Amino acid sequence: MTDYLQTEFYQKLKEDDSFLKFFHDKCLDGVFYWDLEQPENQWVSDRFWDALGYGPEISKGVSKDWKDAIDLEELDNVLSDLRKKISAGDEVFDLTIPYIHQNKSTVWMSCRSVLIRNSQNTITRMLGFYVDITSLKITEKLLEKEQNRNTKLMKLQQVIRHTSEHDILTGLPTRGLFMERLEKSLAHAKRNESNTILYFVDVDHFKQVNDCYGHLTGDIVLKEIAKRLTTNTRHGDFCARLSGDEFVVLVEATDDVSKGIQLVSSLIEHLSQPILLSDSTINTSVSIGVASYPECAKTVDELMQCADFAMYQAKKQGGNQYRLYSNQLHQKFIRVQKLRQGLVSSSIQDQLYLEYQPIFSGGGSVEGFEALIRWKYNDEIISPNEFISVAEEHGTIADIGNWVFEHAFEQLVGWSNVHNFKGYVAINLSLLQLRDSKLLSKLQTLVKRYKVEPNRVHLEVTETQMVDSFGTYVNDLKQLSDEGFAISLDDFGTGYASFKHLQKLPLSTLKIDRSFLSGVPNNSEKNSTLDTMFSLAKIMDLSVVVEGVETEQQHQWLNQYRCSQQGFYHGTPTDCQQAVSFM
């Protein structure tokens, strides 16, 4: 304020105290006055005391010190701030002061003070206005609480989101977060004309680990695999767990695909190192499929399919290796997709048919037939070696298996009724069918419907399948055996089943794989191996069928063991009408 105004204002206050009353009456807010030369001389308007709940009978006493109404815990801070403001010489300043209401609640007032100087420019008076801002303070506190609550809520949401996006067991990102990252990675690679490489990693024989050591040990193995993945990939590479024992590694924004592929050899090595536990050692290995954008695929789904397909090919080759998605694999992939479309079509069952290959006893008569499924698709005969694995992978094997059961049972009854056939029919069984909890009841229904003795139905499982998942299916096979069905171990000798394993299986027959007959009888090593197999079967009281008999020499050599024989020498697979000629 100007010197004139200060002087005039000061004179008014000195000469006439009624000026303050006039000032108070005309002002909507409260007013206070304080003589800094004589601090005991102070005056606060009635509205101040009204706001603190004391009423007019107290407010008339001007000796009431306004400082006594300040919250004691805040008094020192308020007076300190006030002294600093006066010392600074600011003509106008603001303070927010907490006062105590008569009911002990806090009343917040905002005070705007004006310092008044005398003719010697000395600060002698302080005049000001105050406004009750308690409601504003309460609102601020509510807002602060709300903000704190929102902050906590946001943190909780972050925890929930992190939990939902990361695997609890391994701590790796889950499929959802990985797919988001892959989408962004491909978009970035497209804009910058760079490459993205995807590794699809699957633990070999992991089910066997769970079966032999238990799921807790299986979890330890998965955690260790995840740890090794993150430890042995580069900074910036993105690792995730898709499900079960499936992992992925994303190598982004690389200009040289060959450098990114070099990493996979290192991963194979590190992930195949034994896992040492307190009481055992777990030998692990992985199969890895590798595909890159844009060379192998142009979209997220295509890249995932390519890497997955390459991994599956590595696993089919025995595991503990990787396969790169190539033009050759691409043609195979297209072929698989075509077969898959055919397998899920509504007309699939009209395209299936059975052929029967005779099995001859040691005495030279037909003892049974193996039912072999065939598929005629678009005028092409598809080998079961090609389409069964596709059916297993894409979930249609159960329907196909049911179809085979139905038609094989029906044919067995037809031969029995028309041709008085007393032998059996052998039906191949996949492990996926064994997983079906309704398998036994389905077979029981067919036995009742067609009035077939269960021992005339031989169910064949391959040795390789049983070795890979031995512990899981023993009880299932025992249930089938207890019901009267004969269990045969197909392709015996290729899966390296131990004698201990064989003893636990409810077997009636060993079917020796055709590979052991190659070179017989002129290969002494093969002759010796077969002799050992026959001795083992005799010890276990199992019948033997030798597959792949193609020559007179092989037939004559095998006759010394009085075993059953199957192969082109005795008869090729044929339809049900032609099969009658072998009876």
Over residues 60-87, mean pLDDT: 77
| Residue 99 in this model has a pLDDT that exceeds 50 | yes
pLDDT-based confidence at 229, cuts 50/70/90? very high
282 and 174 in contact (C-beta within 8 Å)?
Answer: no
Q: Give me the pLDDT at residue 374, please.
A: 94
The C-alpha atoms of residue 199 and residue 321 are separated, in whole angstroms, by 12
pTM, full prediction = 0.58
Over residues 247-271, mean pLDDT: 81
Instruction: Look at residue 338 and give its three-state secondary structure.
Output: helix
Q: What count of other Cβ atoms lies within 10 Å of the Cβ of residue 500?
A: 8
- The stretches of 16-122 forming alpha helices (DSSP H) are 18-26, 46-51, 56-59, 72-88
Average pLDDT, the chain: 85
The C-alpha atoms of residue 409 and residue 174 are separated, in whole angstroms, by 46
Q: E strands of 275-409, at which residues? A: 275-276, 281-282, 286-293, 321-324, 352-360, 366-377, 380-382
Instruction: Look at residue 583 and give its three-state secondary structure.
Output: coil
Q: What is the DSSP letter of 199?
A: E
Q: E strands of 179-337, at which residues? A: 195-203, 238-243, 246-254, 275-276, 281-282, 286-293, 321-324
Hey, what domains does the chain have and what are their CATH numbers?
Answer: 3-132 (3.30.450.20), 177-325 (3.30.70.270), 346-582 (3.20.20.450)
Q: What count of other Cβ atoms lies within 10 Å of the Cβ of residue 4?
A: 8
Q: Give me the pLDDT at residue 542, please.
A: 94
Instruction: Look at residue 269 and give its three-state secondary structure.
Output: helix
97 and 70 in contact (C-beta within 8 Å)?
Answer: yes
The C-alpha atoms of residue 562 and residue 569 are separated, in whole angstroms, by 16
Q: Lowest-pLDDT range, 64-73, 79-88, 129-138, 455-464?
A: 64-73
Name the nearest CA neighbour of 397 among 431, 424, 362. Answer: 431
The C-alpha atoms of residue 341 and residue 194 are separated, in whole angstroms, by 34
Helical packing angle, 397-419 and 384-393, nearest 10°: 130
The C-alpha atoms of residue 216 and residue 200 are separated, in whole angstroms, by 24
pLDDT tens-place string over residues 328-383:
777 887 888 888 888 888 678 889 999 999 999 998 999 999 999 999 988 889 88
pLDDT tens-place string over residues 407-427:
999 999 999 999 999 999 999
- The stretches of 451-572 forming alpha helices (DSSP H) are 463-468, 470-482, 499-504, 524-539, 552-558
Residues listed for the chain: 583
| Residues in CB range of 492: below 8 A, 6 or more apart | 463, 510, 511, 512, 513, 533
Name the nearest CA neighbour of 495 among 484, 505, 483. Answer: 505
Share of the chain above pLDDT 90, in %: 39
